[in-house]
Amino acid sequence: MKNLVIFLFIYFGATSKVYSQKTKVYSSLKEALKTPHKVEILNLSYQGYHQLPLAIKKLSKLKELYLTGNKLTVLPPEIGQLGNLEVLYANSNNIKVLPREIGHLTNLVELKLKSNQLQKLPSEIGQLQKLEALYLQKNLLKSLPKEVGYLQQLKELNLSHNQLEQLPVELRKLSQLEDLGLINNQFKNFPQSILKLSQLQFISLNANGLKAIPNDINKLTELKGLFLKSNALKALPKSIGKLKQLEILNLEGNYLQTLPNEIGQLNNLEILYLSENKISILPETIGKLHCLKLLSLNGNFLKNLPPTIGHLDALEELSLKQNFLASIPSEISQLKKLKSLSLSKNDLRILPEGFGNFINLAYLSLNDNLLVRLPNSLGQIKTLNELDICHNKIQSLPLTMKKLANLKVLYIIGNKIPEGKLATIMELLPNTKVEF
């Protein structure tokens, strides 16, 4: 799924820059210093350096420098003499401070300092006018200098896993910013400066202490991904429905009890995570999400589903584990693109007879319910690969299941099927692995 790839890209960060096939990559400083005027790429990653040799300043043509996975505690002031440097990676060191001379690297496009011990940044960081990507996650930052707002070309800023409580007002000047990572900081309120970032496409604020989303969240008109997992949200503003470009919305692990009707206005939404909340009812408008491919509602308080659930004609994965569903509407079988359906750990006693109308379903989980029997129509789901009905009260299986030619695994542990009928099941499904 394309958007899931986008999400992983944002969450974990872009992979290392791909070296030019025509440019030699030096991995030994000693070798590089033999012809310093020819060296454009130097990779000293994972070589045990405690200090960066000062001789590196002789590499006047250097464009890319990789220092990841060493034991550096500082970058020397001489780093500022590498005036042609475009890429600097120094992830996973023990760097506690950056020299003011970092501001001399005016050609720098990518700066990645993930997993260090930085407590602050020098104000000279604002001199990096060509910088497009700044990765500072997993440091000890408690604040940012206002000069960060001078980075007019910045597109990616990752500040996740720090100790930030607020952002400087000047951050709103980052008019080109598209991706902002603020996971696992100490924000109690949604940073207002973010709402001025007119080009922002993805924002990650998981694992903070956010209690509310501002009503003017709709100012972020270009937003495609909004990640607010593991906060303290109790409600969503109606204005969330105005985020017309939104494709991914993650609200897992909050305290939401309901959703606004306006959720149905998210015409481009493809992925919606709502697990581990306190939702007891879904609005009828949920059925208007015609682009939705994945809906996760595990661990809520749902007792029923609206019939409009059957209108989600693009839905491929629906997960409703650990709710209080006693029944499901027959309209659920209208989900013709559904591939995975999980209804485990509910209070289901019966399934609708039209349940077998799925034409693409490959995975079906019904374990830990109160089912006494399965509908005969189940045998019509010819695409089914895996079926889990463990820990119900089922005494026999419908003979129509012999039509499930593609069924690879059947889990029936913890039911009331007499031993004499197990052989019949094996005969019905000779090519199926039956776990009992």
**Residue 50 maps to a domain:** yes
CA distance 201 to 227: 11
- The CB density around residue 418, as the number of other CB atoms within 10 Å, is 9
Q: Is residue 99 part of a domain?
A: yes
For residue 216, what pLDDT is reported? 96
The CATH number for 66's domain is: 3.80.10.10
Asked if residue 84 belongs to a domain, the reply is yes
DSSP assigned state of 7: H
| Mean pLDDT (whole number) for 341-370 | 96
Mean pLDDT confidence for 181-205: 97
Task: Please check whether residue 65 lies inside any domain of the structure.
Answer: yes
Residue 181 falls within a domain, yes or no? no
Six token digits for residue 349: 């006693």
Residue 29 lies in a domain: yes
pLDDT at 14: 41
Mean pLDDT value of segment 352-370:
95
pLDDT (tens digit, 9 = 90+) per residue, 283-297?
999 999 999 999 999
**What does the pLDDT read at residue 422?**
83
Q: Tell me the two tokens of residue 32.
A: 């590089």
Residue 15's pLDDT band (cuts 50, 70, 90): very low
Flag whether pLDDT at 427 surpasses 50.
yes
Per-residue pLDDT band at 405 (split at 50, 70, 90): very high
111 forms bridges with which residues in the sheet?
88, 134
Is 124 among the domain residues? yes
Split at pLDDT 50, 70, 90, the class of 420 is confident
Largest CA distance in the chain: 83
How do residues 240-272 score in pLDDT, each as one tens digit?
A: 999 999 999 999 999 999 999 999 999 999 999
Instruction: Give the C-alpha distances (Å, rounded to integers) separating 324 from 297, 328, 340, 345.
Output: 12, 11, 20, 8
Task: Categorize the per-residue pLDDT at 20 as very low, low, confident or very high, splitting at 50, 70 and 90.
Answer: low
pLDDT tens per residue, range 121-156: 999 999 999 999 999 999 999 999 999 999 999 999
In the block, which residue shows the tokens 């695994």? Answer: 409
Domain count, the chain: 1
Task: Give the model's pLDDT for residue 12.
Answer: 40
162 domain-assigned:
yes
19: confidence class by pLDDT, cuts 50, 70, 90: low
**Mean pLDDT score, 397-425:** 91
| Residue 244, CA distances (Å) to 37, 224, 324, 410 in order | 52, 9, 32, 42
Range of the domain at 56: 24-172
